[in-house]
Chains A and B, each alone.
With several copies, the nearest count.
Chain A
Amino acid sequence: MIFARVVADVIDPVEVLARVGSDEDGAALLFLGVVRDHADERPVSGMRYDAYADMAGEVLQAIAEEAAQRLGTDRVAVVHRFGELGIGEVSVAIAVSSPHRAEAFDASRYVIEQIKQRLPVWKKEHYVDGASEWVEGTVPPRAASPTVSTAAWEGGSA
């Protein structure tokens, strides 16, 4: 039931949430990444997400599988969007569910932190003043299977 997709279409958070849940689960968590109207105080009018779509789909699947390991269930659904997005539009939706809440929080956080570290996706901010710039990113790991350490995915911004 692990579900991971990189899509061009609008993300429906309710549909993503509906992919998880089970009679065994006491906790469900839905995280949404949303395009916000500013970046470091600079007004933003929208965001363009580029993706290496084929690879991103595979990496997202791998991240979801790793999260499922941490979660202890296969109830992980994650959808990342690419293309032009307006303010308030959802760029990523992550749903997880598990018997206990600690694992749900942990797995949800793991997915978003790993996305920021490894997913071959880039974003260009469009500023209200008319300029556009690629957002400074994170150098991805140089090998296929990064060592997953707790320290590696905690912290970070946005």
Chain B
Amino acid sequence: MSVPVRTLFFAAYRDRLGLSELMVELAQGATVADLVAELRGRGSPFDLLPEQPAVAVNRAYALMSEPLDSGDEVAFIPPVAGG
């Protein structure tokens, strides 16, 4: 059984990848780290993502070790610059 997650890319990451959203199928028990590895493993342009990006899972900052569930929303968060 695969775990579909919705990934979001913002700002500089969106510009680098040329896309803002992507559905990814992960293996059961996959973590954020696995998602990042899966994406970077696809090569250009996904290898432009950092190895250890800041991410939010379901709109909360999360560690690379965070396990992912079906339907989770995982956002890649470039360094923030509000204000």
Interface residues on B, range: 20 to 34
Interface of B is mostly: mixed
Q: How far is the CA of A120 from the CA of B61 in the complex (A)?
A: 10
- Residue in A92, A136, A141, A143 whose beta carbon sits within 8 Å of that of B82 in the complex: A92
Contact check, B77 vs A120: say whether CB atoms are below 8 A apart: yes
Name the one of A92, A120, A135, A143 contacting B75, with C-beta atoms under 8 angstroms: A120
Complex contact A138–B61 (CB within 8 A): no
Q: Judging by beta carbons under 8 Å apart, are B81 and A138 in contact?
A: yes
* Interface-facing stretch out of A13-21, A66-74, A111-119, A147-155: A111-119
Instruction: Give the chain A neighbours of B56 by CB distance below 8 A.
Output: 52, 55, 120
Contacts of A134 in B (CB 8 A): 11-12, 15, 78, 81
B37 CB, min distance to chain A CBs, angstroms: 17
A33 at the interface (CB under 8 A from B): yes
**A97 is an interface residue with CB less than 8 A from chain B:** no
- Chain A count of residues within 8 A CB distance of the other chain: 36
B31-83 interface (Cβ within 8 A of A): 54, 56, 59-64, 75, 77-83
Give Cα distance in the complex from A139 to B75, angstroms.
Answer: 14
B residues with CB within 8 A of A: 8, 10-12, 15, 54, 56, 59-64, 75, 77-83
Contacts A56-B82, A137-B81 given; 9 further ones with Cβ under 8 A? Answer: A51-B82, A92-B82, A116-B80, A116-B82, A123-B81, A135-B81, A140-B54, A143-B61, A146-B61
